[in-house]
Chain A
């Protein structure tokens, strides 16, 4: 029996209605000076003059209200990563997709009904601002948790850079970086700090909510001397799966159960090893192995450190506790991710040779103001890479990774089923060869597609809105590795409400908030933001002219050689005779 996410959410809400609360956070986004890795003090983005920003803690059924004041010198916006935002697309957060960003000095309130539970995080979705520190765990407790445990800790992993993100972005997206090498972080953090300790009481069972809030890094997580049982992945409870280590890419989350030992003689190291395969090069002074400490007894010594092999781990083998069968897809999209130098001579990312460029009007406002034309992908602009899907259709995406790097792909507004993995590039004109044989495939919202492999994912389009699908390596999102799903545009006006505060914010920034991607009516896309295209690799006019001149110069040169070598006897004799005759005449004249 198929239980849709939405009906589950409604049921859950009904069940918790009695305890539902409005949980308000007042976030004044400010600059702070901090030194979280102990190596370098720098300006970071914090909340209420604090760094790291505080975690958000909620219970299923609550309504989350965040009153944001932007005290920065640049625009900002907040995306609650993993929250479905059912009927609430206008508060999803990505700038120029569902809203204009919040202007410096401006304020904006996010109101989000919470219809799910698990481990999530909230981060800036304006350019790459979250890399400068604006990110925090967002924990939603179930009223009745599936699994029993005594206490819980949040373990938020992240890579850390010393330079400002804007400076690094300018160097990353530059003609002098034709290989597209991403900036390498200087260190790694746990809970945006270092030397973090977690107290364990013997015999108790702890839930560790492991989140990866990185810009780039993938971590391998393991705890010396302790086994781990995975119980939740990206907000989906799963059947207990025992592992000794597991990989976690940027934006993914896992909850694990760890049972404390029965004695307090030793403390143990918690390992979060950054995977060097993600980095273009590994500097000598980069400490890849980030550690925290499980403390049984402050006075105890550390147990010997285990340098374990990282286990290979296929998250497709996880079994959700609440089953959801898959279905034959109504539409299949094959998206091939690749990187190359485009005709702006900057190494950019493409899906099917199109690089993502922000439209002039946020895509949601285009959908809400274009009437019947909102179902025509043209109005969203070619370079927003719009993919229109109909309400309640089953959608399958096969993501082909045609790049030597590994990429974690994230879909806003949904979890998706992982229905197959394969090698190489899948050709959509052929049947997909490697579906999993299961009636309850693993579900999550961020999936790793390793280099030169593909992954098939499915979801039901039951959530009208504009949902971004993109690589969650922040550099790659800025380089354009994104598409926009236009989900059920025909239904949006009846389901979504965009209040005036949204449009006022656009006005404050001088950004148009009606019309197509160029801010015009109808299908007139003159003035739309255009992206670079792939290089043609053919001659341009300049090239042909240059080639012609080189050929002419060679031909003239060769002609000169032939002339030079030609001893024109007759000519020289004639010259000499002429000279002789002239000399004779002069002599006679004298």
Chain B
């Protein structure tokens, strides 16, 4: 039995990432509470319960929607696509690639996640003139914030999973979900206990590397599905797994190492992780290389633009820089006793694209470059 018959690796990583972020939110909120409310134990406990309740409800609702979505999707979708399965598999592969890539790269900005949360908390708790917030909302802010965010993260995960689940056997989903959730909660617990001394950065970089490897492999697999569909039409093949290929564009065709065989063992793991196949064409190899090229170019452009922007704003002499802060741009080394919002050269919303220097952060103020902290520190 192949590994991915019982454990879908892409789903594992998606769940893991979403649960980890939810865990970060909880840990930040709980740390905040223990830092700020030092005297009133009862209130602290009450507000802690709000945090847990909001997070828990958010997770439950996401899971319910997710499970329902997956069930319905698998019931109808897999039957509908049988006739031109190759094309549907190909399309969904490419959609999944897009989502995983964007999400993976966004994850790299997690450094700012904690700071963003602290900033949001500051706004929510202390800003008497916060737009649209009633007294009631403020009272339950610690319930609503995690609820809304976890819900959003959860639905995001559901959509991502919908993209990859066509590829996964139904029985491979539960184990992957459970493992991802457990691991995510473990990380969150570690963050809470270990405080900000946890070195999360290498962890997130590592998981993004893995996610992008999976995405690159999915590109090759999607292109292969398109190719197989076309070749099967050309040769009048009765089934999708005719095992033949177009010799005119073939680059390698090995007798061994076929991930689709029942005794494939590690080859099918390789197929899930990096898209390995014993048959490759100019198209699959080319699209794989092209994917890395595009993603690398995007990241390079994005970062160099950000660096230029940072330099530009520095030379424009924004007040904050003159304040003596040494221009630290990473929130990584924040210590627990000051939730001082740290300057982020840009803070990305999860799942969003990076690169703009002026952006609306959704809380009523325009942030640009290093302006986020300026607004915060004025309040």
Contact = CB atoms under 8 A, between A and B. Distances in A.
A561 interface: yes
A299 interface: no
Nearest to B243: A178
Given A179-B237, A546-B285, A556-B292, A580 B314 contact: yes
B295 interface: yes
A497 interface: no
A565 B108 contact: yes
Nearest to B109: A565
B345 to A, nearest CB: 7
B205 interface: yes
25 contacts: A179-B244, A539-B252, A539-B254, A543-B280, A547-B280, A550-B285, A550-B288, A554-B274, A557-B216, A557-B295, A560-B295, A560-B296, A561-B212, A561-B299, A562-B205, A564-B303, A567-B332, A572-B307, A572-B310, A572-B345, A573-B328, A576-B310, A579-B311, A579-B315, A583-B315
Interface residues of B, number: 54
Interface of B: 105, 108, 111, 201, 204-205, 208-209, 212-213, 216, 234-237, 242, 244, 247-248, 251-256, 274, 280, 285, 288-289, 291-293, 295-296, 299-300, 302-303, 307, 310-312, 314-315, 317, 321, 326-330, 332, 345
A549 B299 contact: no
A563 B302 CA distance: 12
Given A546-B251, A550-B289, A575-B311, A565 B205 contact: yes
A103 B34 CA distance: 102
Interface string A161-195: 00000000000000111110100000000000000
B310 A558 contact: no
B182 to A, nearest CB: 25
Interface in A563-590: 563-565, 567, 569, 572-573, 575-580, 582-583
Nearest to B281: A546
B322 to A, nearest CB: 9
A421 B288 CA distance: 53
Given A537-B253, A572-B327, A546 B311 contact: no
Given A345-B247, A543-B252, A558-B209, A573 B327 contact: yes
Given A543-B280, A546-B285, A550-B289, A178 B302 contact: no
A148 interface: no
Contacts of A176: 234-235
Contacts, number: 130
A270 to B, nearest CB: 35
- Dominant secondary structure at the B interface: helix
B314 A537 contact: no
A197 B247 CA distance: 51
Nearest to B344: A567
A565 B201 contact: yes
Contacts of A554: 213, 216, 274, 288, 292
Closest 3 CB pairs of A and B: A537-B255, A543-B252, A576-B314
B347 to A, nearest CB: 12
A192 B299 CA distance: 74
Interface string A341-354: 10001000000000
Contacts of A179: 235, 237, 242, 244
Nearest to B255: A537
Contact of A567 (B251, B289, B299, B329): B329
A178 B235 contact: yes
Given A560-B296, A567-B330, A540 B111 contact: no
B247 A564 contact: no
Nearest to A543: B252
A539 B280 CA distance: 11
A569 B235 contact: no
Which of A181, A345, A565, A577 counts the most B-chain CB atoms under 10 A from its CB? A565
Interface string A524-535: 000000000001
A535 to B, nearest CB: 7
B205 A561 contact: yes
A179 B302 CA distance: 50
A365 B256 CA distance: 44
Given A540-B252, A560-B299, A564-B302, A569 B330 contact: yes
A546 B256 CA distance: 18
B204 to A, nearest CB: 7
B292 A553 contact: yes
A263 to B, nearest CB: 51
Nearest to A552: B289
Contact of B111 (A341, A567, A583): A567
B318 to A, nearest CB: 10
Contacts of B296: 556-557, 560
B66 to A, nearest CB: 28
A443 B112 CA distance: 89
Contact of A580 (B108, B248, B315, B328): B315
A386 to B, nearest CB: 29
A575 B310 contact: yes
Nearest to A341: B244
B329 A543 contact: no
Given A557-B212, A567-B329, A582-B315, 18 more contacts: A537-B253, A537-B254, A538-B254, A554-B213, A554-B288, A556-B292, A561-B105, A561-B209, A561-B299, A565-B208, A572-B327, A572-B329, A573-B327, A576-B310, A576-B314, A579-B315, A580-B321, A583-B315
Contacts of A558: 209, 212-213
Nearest to A178: B244
Contacts of B212: 557-558, 561
A561 B209 CA distance: 7
Contacts of A546: 251-252, 280, 285
A307 to B, nearest CB: 29
Contacts of A542: 251-252
Contacts of B216: 554, 557
B330 A562 contact: no
Contact of A562 (B209, B285, B288, B295): B209
A576 B321 contact: yes
A142 B203 CA distance: 93
A179 B243 CA distance: 10
A343 to B, nearest CB: 9
